[in-house]
Amino acid sequence: MRVWECCVIAFHQHWWFKQGSIRAYPCPLVTDAMNTSTSPALVYFELLADRAKTPSALLLNLLGDRVEVLRTFVGNDDFKILSARFPCLLMDVGTMSGEMVEVATEVGCRPIPQAAVYYASSLAMELPASAKWIAGDWYLAPPAKPTSAQAASRALALQLVQLVAADADTHEIEAVLRRDPTLSYHLLRVVNSLGMGMSRQITSFSQAILILGRTQLRRWLNLMLFSSRQGDERSAMLLGHVAVRARIMELLAKCSGMDRAGQDSAFMAGMFSLLGVLFGMPLDEVLRPLKISDALSAAVLEHQGDLGHLLKTVECVECRDTPQLAAHLDALQVPYAEFSTLSVQAYAWMLDVIRDRGGMNV
């Protein structure tokens, strides 16, 4: 059984990894003028891959030597659950205070050398022998030309997304599902797992669709678009990335007071926003055949409206733009500590998504 590893890094400064080397250097997003003693107490995660380019670790970045922030964060019940499921590692940056190390090791973290993590920005990488994990946005690079089988499978998945978005008849959806054994298998697997307390297992597509419901079916289909496809080495990490983005947007929508429909739309906006990356096409071209609302389209294409504001917020998280992230959270009236908690929840949910889709054994 493979085990995920949750990497924890606590920084005096914000650090990053230079492409082609292992040494760290200050992130340009954190300027000398930024006073870490007064800057927002925000905590970031980053998903790491192993040498096989599958999700294998989480990196926790903390701005500044904020012992009280780290202590509160690792003492959170959600983090305790996450760290109990996966071993935690502490990056030894050489500048960490003894108290920071002590706080981290209290929850089972252990040090690892900097050389164990390698930063990459493209699929073409030569990993040194010392590198155990891969950081960076290499999986957002344009995809290789898909094989005919890959193209057909994703085309069917996209066709299903279109049918569900248009509220098509269940029989139409079932007819498409029957054409893709992989999609059919995963649908029955996820519905059967939800129906563990039921007296009998789900065996038909129409029954599965009824049990799952249209909202959850739409969500599941979008996740399946990003699921692993043989020959696309980006897909496992891309699935993890999009699952976190969508879940954080959903949780932010809830924290900021949106109703259930708004939360569902926020989740879908997070999913749709990365379809262009998945297909290697302009996003507007991918979305054109989908019958989505004007608000959802404006959010993912132009960052407009409430959903667009949520998308900007999560993009600030991904690029570690702390001042802008703080401004967005203030506008949403979401406390920084609450944001850190929902980030943990989003990553825990992502781990379940990866596991349920056979991305790895945990």
Is residue 132 in some structural domain? yes
Domain for residue 247, yes or no?
A: no
In this predicted structure, what is the pLDDT of residue 202? 61
Q: Are residues 183 and 79 in the same domain?
A: no
What is the model's pTM?
0.80
Residues 61 and 122 grouped into a single domain: yes
What average pLDDT does range 240-252 have in this prediction?
Answer: 94
In the chain, the number of structural domains is: 2
Q: Which tokens is 357 given?
A: 């889709």
Query: CA-to-CA distance for 247 and 264, rounded, in angstroms?
Result: 10
101 and 88 Cβ atoms separated by less than 8 Å: no
Taking only the tens place, the pLDDT of each residue in 290-338 is: 778 889 999 999 999 999 999 999 999 998 888 999 999 999 999 988 8
pLDDT of residue 62: 65
* Candidate from 2-6, 76-80, 222-226, 342-346 with smallest mean pLDDT: 2-6
More confident residue, 6 or 274: 274
Give 295-345 as a DSSP string: HHHHHHHH--HHHHHHHHHHHHHHTT-HHHHHHHHHHHT--HHHHHHHHHH
Do 210 and 89 lie in a common domain? no
181, 82: one domain = no
Is 80 exceeded by the pLDDT of residue 43?
Answer: no
Per-residue pLDDT at 289 exceeds 60 = yes
Question: Would you say residue 359 lies in a domain?
Answer: no
Domain that holds residue 193: 145-219
Across 20-32, average pLDDT: 34
Under the banding of pLDDT at 50, 70 and 90, the label for residue 214 is confident
